[in-house]
Amino acid sequence: MQVSEDKPYDDINITPMLDLAYVLLVIFIIMTTASVQGTKVDLPHGSATQSLAVPKTKVISVNSTGQIFMDAIPVSIGELERKLRDAMAVTPDLPVVLKGDRAVQYERVMSVLDLCGRLGIKSIGLASQHISGS
Protein backbone atom coordinates (compact mmCIF):
# COMPACT_ATOMS: atom_id res chain seq x y z
CA MET A 1 0.00 0.00 0.00
CA GLN A 2 1.47 3.27 -1.08
CA VAL A 3 0.67 6.62 0.62
CA SER A 4 0.42 9.68 -1.57
CA GLU A 5 2.37 12.73 -0.36
CA ASP A 6 0.19 15.20 -2.30
CA LYS A 7 -3.10 14.09 -0.75
CA PRO A 8 -4.95 16.93 1.00
CA TYR A 9 -6.21 16.51 4.56
CA ASP A 10 -9.71 15.18 4.68
CA ASP A 11 -10.43 16.13 8.33
CA ILE A 12 -10.38 19.47 10.20
CA ASN A 13 -8.40 19.94 13.39
CA ILE A 14 -10.86 21.54 15.84
CA THR A 15 -8.53 21.59 18.87
CA PRO A 16 -7.68 25.33 18.57
CA MET A 17 -11.36 26.16 18.24
CA LEU A 18 -12.19 24.15 21.37
CA ASP A 19 -9.37 25.87 23.27
CA LEU A 20 -10.84 29.24 22.34
CA ALA A 21 -14.33 28.14 23.36
CA TYR A 22 -13.08 26.98 26.77
CA VAL A 23 -11.20 30.24 27.37
CA LEU A 24 -14.29 32.26 26.47
CA LEU A 25 -16.40 30.10 28.78
CA VAL A 26 -13.99 30.65 31.69
CA ILE A 27 -13.95 34.42 31.07
CA PHE A 28 -17.76 34.48 30.96
CA ILE A 29 -18.01 32.56 34.26
CA ILE A 30 -15.49 34.83 35.99
CA MET A 31 -17.15 38.02 34.78
CA THR A 32 -20.67 36.97 35.79
CA THR A 33 -19.63 35.86 39.28
CA ALA A 34 -17.59 39.05 39.79
CA SER A 35 -20.61 41.24 39.05
CA VAL A 36 -22.83 39.25 41.44
CA GLN A 37 -20.39 39.51 44.34
CA GLY A 38 -20.46 43.32 44.47
CA THR A 39 -23.06 43.67 47.23
CA LYS A 40 -21.26 43.18 50.53
CA VAL A 41 -19.16 46.08 51.86
CA ASP A 42 -17.03 45.97 54.98
CA LEU A 43 -14.36 48.67 55.03
CA PRO A 44 -11.63 49.92 55.82
CA HIS A 45 -9.45 46.85 56.36
CA GLY A 46 -6.80 45.98 53.80
CA SER A 47 -3.93 43.65 53.12
CA ALA A 48 -0.31 44.11 54.06
CA THR A 49 0.67 45.81 50.81
CA GLN A 50 3.45 48.29 50.51
CA SER A 51 2.52 51.86 51.39
CA LEU A 52 1.88 54.35 48.59
CA ALA A 53 3.40 57.16 50.62
CA VAL A 54 6.45 58.62 48.92
CA PRO A 55 8.06 61.97 49.78
CA LYS A 56 6.05 63.97 47.19
CA THR A 57 2.73 62.28 47.95
CA LYS A 58 -0.03 64.52 49.27
CA VAL A 59 -2.02 62.93 52.08
CA ILE A 60 -5.62 64.10 52.39
CA SER A 61 -7.52 63.00 55.49
CA VAL A 62 -11.20 63.31 56.37
CA ASN A 63 -11.88 62.83 60.08
CA SER A 64 -15.07 61.54 61.71
CA THR A 65 -16.62 65.03 61.86
CA GLY A 66 -16.01 65.65 58.14
CA GLN A 67 -13.09 68.07 58.57
CA ILE A 68 -10.57 67.85 55.70
CA PHE A 69 -6.82 67.86 56.33
CA MET A 70 -4.01 68.10 53.80
CA ASP A 71 -0.71 66.87 55.22
CA ALA A 72 -2.17 67.22 58.77
CA ILE A 73 -3.22 70.88 58.20
CA PRO A 74 -6.98 71.63 58.30
CA VAL A 75 -8.29 73.04 55.01
CA SER A 76 -11.62 73.84 53.41
CA ILE A 77 -12.56 72.27 50.08
CA GLY A 78 -11.64 75.53 48.30
CA GLU A 79 -8.24 75.71 49.98
CA LEU A 80 -7.68 72.05 49.17
CA GLU A 81 -8.34 72.74 45.49
CA ARG A 82 -5.93 75.69 45.46
CA LYS A 83 -3.18 73.73 47.24
CA LEU A 84 -3.59 70.73 44.95
CA ARG A 85 -3.40 72.98 41.87
CA ASP A 86 -0.18 74.52 43.22
CA ALA A 87 1.28 71.08 43.93
CA MET A 88 0.31 69.83 40.46
CA ALA A 89 2.08 72.82 38.90
CA VAL A 90 5.30 71.50 40.43
CA THR A 91 4.56 67.77 40.01
CA PRO A 92 2.08 67.09 37.16
CA ASP A 93 1.73 63.38 38.04
CA LEU A 94 1.07 64.13 41.71
CA PRO A 95 0.14 61.03 43.75
CA VAL A 96 -2.56 61.49 46.39
CA VAL A 97 -3.47 59.22 49.29
CA LEU A 98 -6.96 59.69 50.74
CA LYS A 99 -7.66 58.60 54.31
CA GLY A 100 -11.33 58.57 55.27
CA ASP A 101 -12.48 57.82 58.80
CA ARG A 102 -14.88 54.89 58.91
CA ALA A 103 -17.47 57.03 60.73
CA VAL A 104 -17.46 59.91 58.20
CA GLN A 105 -20.30 60.30 55.71
CA TYR A 106 -19.38 58.78 52.37
CA GLU A 107 -20.50 61.96 50.61
CA ARG A 108 -17.64 63.93 52.19
CA VAL A 109 -15.04 61.46 50.91
CA MET A 110 -16.71 61.49 47.48
CA SER A 111 -16.46 65.29 47.31
CA VAL A 112 -12.67 65.01 47.77
CA LEU A 113 -12.48 62.23 45.14
CA ASP A 114 -14.59 64.36 42.77
CA LEU A 115 -12.25 67.31 43.28
CA CYS A 116 -9.23 65.12 42.49
CA GLY A 117 -10.96 63.89 39.36
CA ARG A 118 -11.78 67.42 38.19
CA LEU A 119 -8.16 68.45 38.70
CA GLY A 120 -6.96 65.50 36.61
CA ILE A 121 -5.15 63.63 39.37
CA LYS A 122 -4.67 60.12 38.03
CA SER A 123 -2.84 58.48 40.93
CA ILE A 124 -5.20 58.27 43.91
CA GLY A 125 -4.78 55.73 46.70
CA LEU A 126 -7.36 54.94 49.35
CA ALA A 127 -5.72 54.10 52.67
CA SER A 128 -7.01 51.30 54.87
CA GLN A 129 -5.98 49.73 58.12
CA HIS A 130 -4.29 46.32 58.15
CA ILE A 131 -5.27 44.03 60.98
CA SER A 132 -2.70 41.31 61.56
CA GLY A 133 -3.79 37.82 62.45
CA SER A 134 -7.04 37.82 60.44
Whether the Cβ atoms of residue 68 and residue 77 lie closer than 8 Å to each other: yes
Q: CB-based contacts of 68: which residues, under 8 Å, 6+ apart?
A: 60, 61, 62, 74, 75, 76, 77, 80, 108, 112
Q: How confident is the model at residue 43 (pLDDT cuts 50, 70, 90)?
A: low
The mean pLDDT value of the chain amounts to 78
pLDDT single digits (tens) 68-89:
888 888 899 999 999 999 988 8
Instruction: Tell me the residue type at 49.
Output: T
Domain positions in the chain are: 45-130
In CATH, what class is 45-130? alpha beta
pLDDT at 52 over 60: no
Exposed e or buried b for every residue in 37-51, given b needs 16+ CB within 10 A?
A: eeeeeeeeeeeeeee
pLDDT single digits (tens) 79-126:
999 999 998 888 888 888 888 888 888 888 889 899 989 989 888 888
What is the pairing mode between strands 58-62 and 73-75? unpaired
pLDDT at site 19: 93
How far apart CA 69 and CA 62 sit, in angstroms, is: 6
